[in-house]
Amino acid sequence: AKVAGRGRAVVFDPAMRTAAVERRRLEQELTGALARDEFRLVYQPVVDLADDRVVGFEALLRWRSPELGAVPPDVFVPVAEDLGLIGDIGAWVLREACRTAAAWRREHGVAADATMAVNVSAVQLASPQLLEDVRAALAASGLPASALVLEVTETALVDDPERAAASLTALRALGVQLALDDFGTGYSSLGYLQEFTVDVLKIDRSFVATIPADGELPPIVRGLIDLARALDLEVVAEGVETPAQRARLQAGRCARAQGYLFAAPLEATDAELLLVGQRPG
């Protein structure tokens, strides 16, 4: 299609134009979404495969825009990064997740002794503000630092490995745990394991999806689990959807898992019920 712009005829792909218009609307709505209180968190359980106990949760961000409806985080988080909004949004996620986990602990004591994991984007990790935000969220909530897990992706470590290493070291000094998210999907994963001290490896869902209904664990999944064990790291398999995947992982000595087989991400009240409903008292 030809679109006349500033007196010139420009060849313009209508699909691209639509994408540009949609992107601009998304940017408009996202700016101010935090102030309008349009975000909330949902919580997906992490279970211990030995006894099905919930040992932790991952906080996942949700945005319902009155104009655009529900927009998935895969779509809006990169835009928030580009617009420089992820710092404030991320700080809110930290405060809210810590506040929720601390409230469960206050209400239920040891029965609510589960970790709370928060996703941290590359842009957040590159900013000195992250350390302050984590410190503030812990102080305001009273959540013990050891109950907080920060999930970072390998890609977040690529841009500026030295700065990332310094940032992770400072965070660990606070006492929080670090998890390497989507493990195996980034570049030179093994190099990072040598350079960065982490506590948890999360095996990406794309690997879990390769586990056949019958038969052995695929060599890569097998290798990732063994690697984590050799390094004395906690290992969590993501995106477990079938009983067969669960059985294979358990037989392969993967201790923890997360996925629709156990629970989808839950509203806070449902997550709390699941957490405290699992033990007497």
Which residues of the shown chain bind Ca ion in the complex (CB under 5 A)? Answer: 119, 151, 181-182, 238
Strands 148-153 and 200-203: unpaired
By the rule CB under 6 A, 239 interacts with ligand C2E: yes
Smaller CB separation from Ca ion, 29 or 238: 238
Helix (H) or strand (E) holding 281: none
Distance CA 249, CA 261 (A): 13
Distance CA 256, CA 234 (A): 8
Least distance from ligand C2E to the Cβ atom of residue 37, Å: 16
In sequence order, which residues have a C-beta less than 8 Å from that of residue 233 and are 6 or more positions away? 198, 199, 200, 201
Smaller CB separation from ligand C2E, 165 or 209: 209
Which of 74, 162, 214, 232 contacts ligand C2E by CB under 6 A? Answer: 74
Which of 93, 164, 201, 236 contacts ligand C2E by CB under 6 A? Answer: 93
Task: Tell me the per-residue interface mask from 95 to 114 with ligand C2E, x by CB under 6 A, - otherwise.
Answer: --------------------
Give yes or no for a contact between 242 and 37, defined as CB atoms under 8 angstroms apart.
Answer: no
Q: How far is CA 221 from CA 106, 162, 201, 236, 250, in A?
A: 38, 29, 12, 12, 12
Number of residues that bind ligand C2E (CB under 6 A): 20
By the rule CB under 6 A, 77 interacts with ligand C2E: yes
The DSSP secondary structure of 178-242, one letter per residue, reads: EEEEEETSSSSHHHHHHHS--SEEEE-HHHHTT--SSSPPPHHHHHHHHHHHHTT-EEEE----S
Dihedral sign, CA of 48, 51, 52, 57? negative
Instruction: Choose one: 69-77, 154-162, 163-171, 223-231; the region binding ligand C2E (CB under 6 A).
Output: 69-77
By the rule CB under 6 A, 119 interacts with ligand C2E: yes
Residues 150-169 that bind ligand C2E (CB under 6 A): none
By the rule CB under 6 A, 270 interacts with ligand C2E: no
Least distance from Ca ion to the Cβ atom of residue 62, Å: 14
Smaller CB separation from Ca ion, 49 or 237: 237
Dihedral sign, CA of 146, 62, 39, 85? positive
By the rule CB under 6 A, 60 interacts with ligand C2E: yes
End-to-end Cα, the chain, rounded Å: 68
By the rule CB under 6 A, 260 interacts with ligand C2E: yes
Smaller CB separation from Ca ion, 29 or 262: 262
Q: Which residues make up the interface to ligand C2E (CB under 6 A)?
A: 44, 60-61, 72-74, 77, 93, 119, 121, 181-182, 205, 239-241, 258-260, 265
